[in-house]
Amino acid sequence: MSLLREKLENSSDRVFTAEFPSIDGGGMASVARDAARLAPWFDAVNATDNPAAHAHTSNTTTAIAMQMHGLEPIMQIVCRDKNRLAIQSDLMGGALHGIENISLLTGDDVTAGDEPEARRVFDIDSTQAINITRIMMTGKYLSGRKINPAPNFYIGAVENAAAPPFDYRIERALKKHRAGASFLQLQICYHPDRLEAFCKGVAKIAPDLKLIPTVVLLKGSKALGFMNEKVAGIDVPKDTFARVASATDQAKEAYDLTLELAQHALSLPGVRGLHVTDFRHDDSLNNFMNDLGLKPRN
Amino acid sequence: MLKKLLPFVEHAIKKPVWDCRMCGQCVLHSTGMTCPMTCPKTLRNGPCGGVRENGNCEVIPDMQCVWAKAYDRKESLPMPAVWKEHFNELRPPVDMRLQGSSSWINLITKRDQQTPAGWSIQDGAH
Ligand code: SF4
């Protein structure tokens, strides 16, 4: 059983997840370096699938490389680049290598990336992909053809509590849960009130759906402004932006903001941990984890 | 003959009102009378995470997100209660072979309800 599943299903411990940096060359040496940096703090780390519609080393091979370096992967599968056949073969490829944690998501549009002229696939959507993964766990492909023995997955998904239509976000999370998702990693959210309404709404109906909100460590208002303008589905309220932009020590203010958001998120019903994205690449990750009361693993 | 003619008639009626894409498996009644095939990502089970703060589409900034519109309409348009109940049903993957055929014929022949042999839905996930 994956560590992530073990912790989420059989304990009340908090879990912490992160994003593995995209691999563009650098070989296994770079994988080893990043794995060593993340391993002390995180239970499982996302092996991304062409994030923000940019081509990188594939999801499956990244997940395998992470595993070779002692890091438990959550293999993401995005619906933008692959049709239903390719998605099922990603899943089988992962299963062949003992990868259990899977996260299925829609994905940014091709126009968000550096090859906007590409064909977008979206043959199936994320909820259908979740359901197909669950079906494969019963020992068959979507076509009905047998898989023997059936693969063993721990299925996750993603939801954005901060994007409209807000009430519908709760219903959609529940729909993904009914389709087979056991945990949800939530998109970055700078509206604590929206996150709170979402978590309460979900926890009331599906208390066993594990919620993992995302927080981001960043250096200051420039990065915050970039996310607000360039990243689909992320809105930074004016006051929040002004608070960081007008601070004499922006790096400190941005850090304090993230810590506050993290503590608030962890206090919400249904929330079982945090997904931490680090855009600072300094020593603040260690401080941040310490400030949340965590000790590094050996 | 009818099989040839009906797609034209259906398209002529549905295109101006719903911007119909002739997927051949019409789900309009369960999606607030908003066609999910006009979503640039052709999502049939709800909005992506990229919906803008003003409710517009990630991909086409001056278009309202299809699912934001569908949800609004589901709440506000008068329609049978059962249609509203179907809003959150798990819609199966599109059968690409039906593209361009008449969903009216496919409805009558129940062809539009055929799903791949392995497709199933968990109890309660209707
Ligand atoms: S924002 Fe809405 S219409 Fe646009 S791609 Fe996402 S779900 Fe489709």
B112, burial (CB in 10 Å: exposed 0-12, middle 13-18, buried 19+):
buried
SS3 content of chain A, % helix, strand, coil (to 5): 45, 15, 40
Looking at the fold, whether B33 and B55 belong to one and the same domain comes out as yes
CA distance B55 to chain A (A): 6
Q: Is residue B123 part of a domain?
A: no
Sign of CA dihedral A84, A87, A89, A91: negative
Evaluate whether A120 touches A109 at the Cβ level (below 8 Å).
yes
- Which protein residue has the closest C-alpha to ligand 1 atom 2? B65
A180: which DSSP letter? T
What pLDDT score was predicted for residue B120? 94
- What single letter denotes the amino acid at residue A73? P
B56, B81: one domain: yes
Distance from CA of A26 to the nearest CA of B (A): 31
Judge if B18 and B62 occupy the same domain: no
Nearest to A37 by CA among A282, A292, A293, A291: A282
Would B70 be classed as within a structural domain? yes
Query: What's the rounded Cα separation, in Å, for the pair B86 and B32?
Result: 10
Same structural domain, B34 and B50: yes
**pLDDT of res. A17:** 98
Residue labelled with tokens 């709800």: B46
Cα–Cα distance list, A11 to A7, A66, A271, A292 (Å): 5, 25, 13, 19
Q: Is residue B40 domain-shared with residue B50, that is, in the same domain? A: yes
Q: What's A271's DSSP letter? A: B
Residues with CB under 6 A from ligand 1: B 39-41, 43, 47-48, 50-51, 57-59, 65-67
Decide if A128 and B90 are in contact by the 8 Å CB cutoff: yes
Q: In chain B, how many domains are there?
A: 2
Same domain, B87 and B101: no
pLDDT, averaged per 10 consecutive residues of chain B (126 residues), comes to 70 73 78 83 95 96 94 82 84 87 78 89 69
A149 prior amide bond cis, ω within 30: yes
Tell whether B57 and B36 lie within a shared domain. Answer: yes
In one-letter notation, the amino acid at residue B68 is: A
CB count within 10 Å of CB B15 equals: 13
Contact B61, A109 (CB under 8 A): no
Q: Which atom of ligand 1 is nearest to the CA of B66?
A: 3
Atom 6 in ligand 1: residue holding the nearest Cα = B48
- Enumerate the β-bridge partners of residue A185: A158, A212
On whether both B87 and B33 belong to a single domain, the answer is yes
Give this complex's ipTM: 0.93
Q: Is position B126 within any domain?
A: no
Q: Could you give the CA distance from residue B9 to residue A268 in angstroms, rounded to a whole number?
A: 53
Looking at residue B34, its pLDDT comes to 80
Is residue B9 located within the same domain as residue B35?
no
Query: A267 in helix, strand or coil?
Result: coil
| H or E element, residue A128 | helix A126-136
**Mean pLDDT by groups of 10 residues along chain A of 298 residues:** 97 97 95 95 98 97 98 98 98 98 97 97 98 98 98 98 95 97 98 98 98 96 93 94 96 96 98 95 90 89
- A131 interfacial to chain B (CB closer than 8 Å): yes
In sequence order, what are the residues at sequence separation of 6 or more whose Cβ sits closer than 8 angstroms to the Cβ of residue A111?
A53, B59
What is the residue range of B5's domain?
Answer: 1-25+94-113
Are the C-beta atoms of A42 and A74 separated by less than 8 Å? Answer: no
> How far separated are the first and last CA of chain B, in Å rounded?
36
Residue B80 belongs to a domain: yes
Angle at A125 between CA A214 and CA A109, to 5 degrees: 65
In angstroms, rounded to a whole number, what is the distance separating the alpha carbons of residues A23 and A46? 13
Q: How would CATH label the architecture of A3-291?
A: Alpha-Beta Barrel (3.20)
Query: Does residue B80 sit in the same domain as residue B61?
Result: yes
Q: Quick check: is B41 in a domain?
A: yes
Question: What is the pTM for the complete model shown?
Answer: 0.94
The reported pLDDT for the residue numbered A194 is 98
